[in-house]
Amino acid sequence: QKEVEQNSGPLSVPEGAIASLNCTYSDRGSQSFFWYRQYSGKSPELIMFIYSNGDKEDGRFTAQLNKASQYVSLLIRDSQPSDSATYLCAVRGISGGYNKLIFGAGTRLAVHP
């Protein structure tokens, strides 16, 4: 079992729809959760982070965390073609130290006009 699992996609949504990206993790001691966006040929950039159970909203983005289910998700409202990218889920756990992030393989999102 991989430490951080994501559906590779592609997830295809029409412009204006809600895109829902999901991630599960295996380390129950994980404390912090991050979503990175990576455009093709570019480096990852942080778009959301969440520490506590529940929802966290930032503009069109909402991160959701359920530690009991070891599940974290990212919702993108009013999806735009510019949101088309790979979204990487990253988890910071206890093992390996505070600075260690474990990344999932990413979900490719395609928003079509």
Q: Under the rule (CB under 8 A), what is the footprint of another protein?
A: 4, 8, 42-46, 49, 88, 90, 96-101, 103-106
CB of 103 to another protein, least distance (A): 3
Q: Residue 18 or residue 46: which is nearer to another protein going by CB? A: 46
Largest separation between any pair of C-alpha atoms in the chain = 43
Phi, psi of 111 (to 5 degrees): -105, 120
CB of 59 to another protein, least distance (A): 17
How would you label 65-93 residue by residue, b for 16+ Cβ within 10 Å and e otherwise? bebeebebbbbbeebeeebbbbbbbbbbb
Q: Residue 44 or residue 111: which is nearer to another protein going by CB? A: 44
- Asked whether 91 and 3 are in contact (CB, 8 A), the reply is yes
CB of 93 to another protein, least distance (A): 12
Q: Residue 97 or residue 113: which is nearer to another protein going by CB? A: 97
